[in-house]
């Protein structure tokens, strides 16, 4: 048909026997020197060099080497066709890619149409002297249109292993996929004898698949699923439709009979079906073969304890910070802690991965059990670790007295004394002995201080004395030793001067060490020389802008900005230096946390140059409406009523150390909490509903 010189040439060919494609019979084709033929009597443009992606209106393109070709500069170039038995063979001999310069490329290949079986086969002969050209041919079949993947059946060869050779080519990923052909490293071209064959299916029996796994209606308890189905004779690939609602979305083409889907949502129903693809058959209605499964819950692993380290001996504090690793998909963590191994006491349930707890001197065992809304992990007690607390307050003298108001406010603080032998001089007593000293500022003309033992035995019997004056000149105002370790020791005095500092001495009348707690009335703390007049938070460009005002700063060092997502556990996110001058001052701090992603609480830790500090009130920032409730009475002595609640939420009573003291589900608008058993001080009532958290402070008298 062509020899010696040719370029962009079309040839109309009448086939000696009809060729059946997609149920239609064709006796006319157009053959082109650019490595393709088209079906039908209408000839497309002869300059087409990308037939697979072409939008030319023809029934089909078959392209064994679709690119801009011409006669080679050497050899005996020709293009011909002939019939051999049931096959009609089109042959391109000694051709090369169109180049602006002379080169010695020689390519040989054939297209064979089997009029008996309908098979289409590309056969590759010698490919010699390939240059470093980056012009890559399109290889495959295009049916009525260039819509991918519905009408495209092509191959892809690139530099990615294993699809980096023609022998290991893969299905194309779009209608522009090409087959790399170059001597540039890594050199890639078809070896002699390489073939690609498309065999038509028998459309009379071509059918939808049967979904095999997972079994319809099953629960897999996994975040990924392996789908499998039966093979269909004549299918060249399979379209997967997958999703959580109808109509299901196309999820990919697969050449085999299985597919893996990752990142499933917990406890969600998924449906799927397969639509087999043949280049000659059109199949519809496979939606009727849809099956479904539930992802269930992803198995959740136990977590490891981080701190304290296993076998740690803690002597610096009895306020112990516990932390653990997070578990993927965990919604909360149950913390078990006790003095037996394994512990059986649930300390509390936490949404984060750390908490603090005040402990007596002892050896403790603990582990954490992650929670998931619909599945629990295996027993996690095997991850139990242990630590020992052996903490004693410094053996202080009067000049190192602790702030009594601060310790009483903490409410749950358990002191561990390390006393000398019994001190018979109760008042004024041995001022420089190994006793524990506190101080407070009188807020009224009367005050009382109580101390009581919290030990489990009667080896330790504490006493308490109260003094006026200064550490170098103390006057004893009263003392008490109840005479038994189980009784409360209380000193009550009158005639105090409001604003003056008074001193409290705790001593032992029996044993050199023991545990005790403190309480008191009209006890004021040592104030910071700072007046915080306002503190607010607003949303600004998806960030939180915090602003506060102060008056008459004196000896003020800095402001530490703290944030919390639950109103209980706070972390420091920034520090702002103080002006430390008289007058009015305005401060601001921008939290770059995206406030659209959740709700946040903020507070200020106001620190002076001596290391003393106070906290501001907690403020709340959220774009959505918060649940509200009222607390009455406040302050409270015995029973507090919480009203205006939204059912299905949760109420928590939280100590200022962050420990959950009470927790109950809300089933009506009003509930009550018993407060009589708790020490005087400040507590948080926290209401959790629809992933929103709001808190109110209450004062226990």
Whole-number average pLDDT of the chain: 84
Is the pLDDT assigned to residue 636 strictly greater than 70?
A: yes
Give the whole-angstrom CA distance, residue 285 versus residue 281.
13
Using 50, 70 and 90 to split pLDDT, how confident is the model at 483? low
DSSP state of 597: G
Q: Domains of the chain, with CATH numbers?
A: 2-198 (no CATH), 211-294 (2.60.40.10), 305-389 (2.60.40.10), 398-524 (2.60.120.380), 531-621 (2.60.40.10), 630-700 (2.60.40.3080)
- Identify the pLDDT of residue 465: 87
pLDDT at 90 over 90: yes
R_g over Cα of the chain: 42
- The kind and range of the H/E element at 405 are helix 404-410
* 650 has pLDDT over 80: yes
Among 35-39, 100-104, 170-174, 645-649, the least confident range: 100-104
From 194, 92, 177, select the one nearest 140 (Cα to Cα).
Answer: 177
Give the model's pLDDT for residue 424: 45
- Proportion of the chain in helix, strand, coil states, percent, rounded to 5: 5, 50, 50
Q: Give the up-direction half-sphere exposure of residue 201: CA atoms within 13 A in the CB hemisphere.
A: 21
Q: What is the DSSP letter of 71?
A: E
Closest of 599, 558, 563, 592 to residue 576, by C-alpha: 558
Q: Which residue has the higher pLDDT, 553 or 355?
A: 355
Backbone torsion region of residue 402, taken as left when φ is above 0, otherwise alpha when ψ lies between -120 and 50, otherwise beta: beta
Q: Give residue 411's pLDDT.
A: 44
Q: What pLDDT band is residue 543 in, cutting at 50, 70 and 90?
A: confident
**Residue 649 confidence (pLDDT) above 90:** no
Q: Which long-range contacts (CB under 8 A, 24 or more apart) does 15-20 make?
A: 15/88, 15/113, 15/115, 16/83, 16/88, 17/83, 17/86, 17/88, 17/115, 18/115, 19/88, 19/113, 19/115, 19/118, 20/115, 20/118, 20/200, 20/280
Residue 542 has pLDDT above 50, yes or no: yes
- d(CA 297, CA 221) in angstroms, rounded, equals 5
> Looking at residue 426, what is its pLDDT?
54
Question: In the prediction, which pLDDT does 310 show?
Answer: 95
Per-residue pLDDT tens over the stretch 94-143: 999 997 567 889 999 999 999 998 999 999 999 999 988 889 999 999 99
CA–CA separation, 106 and 470 (whole Å) = 107
Instruction: For residue 432, name the pLDDT band (cuts at 50, 70, 90).
Output: very low
Which residue shows structure tokens 């050899």?
75
Highest mean pLDDT among 121-130, 233-242, 581-590, 617-626: 121-130
580 falls in which pLDDT band (50, 70, 90)?
Answer: confident
- 300: tokens are 């959740």
pLDDT at position 584 is: 84
Summarize the confidence of residues 16-43 as an average pLDDT: 94
Q: Give the percent of the chain with pLDDT over 70.
A: 86
pLDDT over 60 (residue 420): no
Q: Give the range among 20-24, 31-35, 302-306 with minimum mean pLDDT.
A: 20-24
Question: Residue 167: which pLDDT band, with cuts at 50, 70 and 90?
Answer: very high
Percent of the chain with pLDDT over 90: 37
Confidence of residue 422 (pLDDT cuts 50, 70, 90): very low
Q: Is the whole model's pTM more than 0.85, yes or no?
A: no
pLDDT confidence bin for 512, thresholds 50/70/90: low
In this prediction, residue 596 carries a pLDDT of: 60
Residue 430 in this model has a pLDDT that exceeds 60: no
Q: What torsion, rounded to 10 degrees, do the Cα atoms 588, 592, 594, 599 define?
A: -50
The pLDDT value recorded for residue 458 is 58
Q: What does the alpha-carbon distance between residue 451 and residue 467 come to, in Å, rounded to a whole number?
A: 15
pLDDT value for 525: 61
Q: How far, in Å, CA of 660 to CA of 654, rounded? A: 5
Which region among 63-72, 651-660, 677-686 has the lowest average model confidence (pLDDT)? 651-660
pLDDT of residue 410: 46
Please tell me which residue, 504 or 435, carries the higher pLDDT value.
504
Which is higher by pLDDT, 494 or 457? 494
CB 330 within 8 A of CB 372: yes
Assign 399 a pLDDT band (cuts: 50, 70, 90).
confident
User: In the predicted model, is pLDDT for residue 362 greater than 80?
Assistant: yes
Peptide bond into 308 cis (omega under 30): yes
């Amino acid at each position: 048909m062509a020899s010696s010189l040719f370029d962009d040439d079309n040839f109309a060919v009448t086939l000696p026997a009809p060729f059946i494609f997609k149920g239609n019979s064709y006796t006319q084709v157009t053959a082109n020197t650019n490595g393709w033929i088209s079906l039908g009597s209408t000839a497309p443009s002869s300059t087409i060099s990308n037939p697979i992606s072409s939008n030319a209106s023809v029934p089909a393109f078959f392209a064994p080497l679709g690119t801009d070709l011409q006669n080679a500069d050497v050899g005996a170039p020709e293009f011909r066709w002939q019939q051999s038995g049931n096959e009609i063979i089109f042959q391109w001999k000694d051709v090369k890619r169109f180049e602006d310069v002379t080169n010695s490329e020689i390519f040989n290949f054939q297209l064979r149409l089997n009029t008996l079986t309908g098979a289409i086969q590309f056969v590759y002969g010698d490919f010699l002297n390939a240059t470093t050209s980056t012009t890559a041919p399109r290889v495959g079949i295009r049916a009525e249109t260039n819509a991918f993947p519905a009408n495209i059946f092509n191959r892809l060869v690139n530099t990615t292993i294993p699809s980096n050779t023609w022998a290991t080519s893969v299905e194309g990923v779009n209608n522009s996929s090409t087959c790399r052909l170059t001597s540039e490293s890594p050199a890639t071209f078809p070896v002699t004898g390489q073939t690609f064959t498309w065999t038509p299916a028998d459309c009379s029996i071509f059918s939808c698949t049967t979904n095999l796994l997972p079994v319809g209606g099953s629960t897999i308890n996994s975040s990924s699923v392996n789908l499998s189905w039966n093979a269909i004779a004549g299918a060249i690939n399979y379209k997967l439709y997958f999703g959580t609602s109808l109509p299901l979305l196309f999820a990919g083409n697969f050449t085999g009979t299985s597919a893996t889907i990752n990142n499933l949502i917990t406890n969600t129903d998924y449906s799927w079906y397969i639509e087999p693809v043949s280049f000659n058959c059109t199949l519809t209605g496979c939606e009727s073969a849809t099956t479904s499964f539930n992802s269930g819950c992803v198995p959740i692993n136990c977590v490891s304890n981080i701190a304290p380290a296993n076998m740690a001996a803690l002597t610096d504090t009895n306020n112990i910070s516990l932390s653990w690793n997070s578990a993927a998909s965990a919604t909360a963590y149950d913390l078990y802690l006790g003095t037996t191994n394994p512990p059986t006491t649930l300390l509390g349930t936490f949404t984060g991965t750390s908490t603090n707890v005040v402990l007596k001197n002892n050896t403790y065992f603990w582990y954490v059990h992650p929670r998931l809304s619909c599945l629990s992990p295996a027993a996690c007690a095997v991850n139990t670790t242990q630590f020992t607390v052996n903490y004693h307050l410094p053996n202080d003298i009067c000049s190192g007295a602790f702030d009594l108001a601060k310790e009483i406010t903490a409410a749950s603080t358990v002191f561990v004394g390390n006393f000398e032998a019994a001190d018979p001089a109760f008042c004024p007593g041995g001022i420089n002995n190994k006793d524990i000293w506190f101080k407070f500022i009188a807020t009224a003309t009367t005050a009382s201080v109580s101390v009581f033992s919290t030990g489990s035995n009667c080896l330790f019997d504490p006493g308490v004395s109260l003094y006026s004056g200064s550490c170098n000149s103390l006057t004893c105002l009263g003392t008490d030793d109840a005479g038994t370790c189980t009784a409360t020791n209380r000193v009550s005095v009158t005639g105090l001067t409001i604003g003056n500092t008074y001193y409290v001495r705790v001593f032992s009348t029996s044993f050199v060490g023991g545990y005790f707690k403190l309480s008191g009335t009209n006890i004021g703390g040592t104030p910071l020389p700072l007046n915080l007049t306002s503190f607010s938070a607003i949303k600004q460009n998806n960030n939180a802008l915090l602003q506060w005002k102060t008056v008459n700063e004196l000896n003020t060092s800095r402001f530490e900005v703290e944030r919390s997502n639950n109103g209980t556990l706070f972390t420091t996110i920034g520090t702002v230096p103080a002006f430390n001058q008289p007058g009015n001052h305005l401060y601001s701090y921008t939290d770059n946390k995206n406030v659209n992603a959740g709700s946040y609480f903020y507070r200020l830790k106001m620190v002076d140059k001596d290391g003393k500090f106070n906290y501001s009130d907690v403020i709340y920032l959220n774009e959505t409406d918060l649940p509200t409730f009222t607390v009455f009475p406040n302050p409270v002595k015995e029973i507090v009523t919480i009203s205006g609640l939204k059912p299905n939420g949760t109420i928590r009573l939280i100590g200022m150390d962050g420990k959950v003291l009470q927790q109950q589900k809300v089933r009506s608008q009003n509930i009550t909490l018993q407060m009589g058993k708790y020490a005087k001080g400040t507590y948080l009532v926290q209401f959790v509903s629809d992933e929103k958290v709001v808190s109110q402070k209450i004062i226990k008298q």
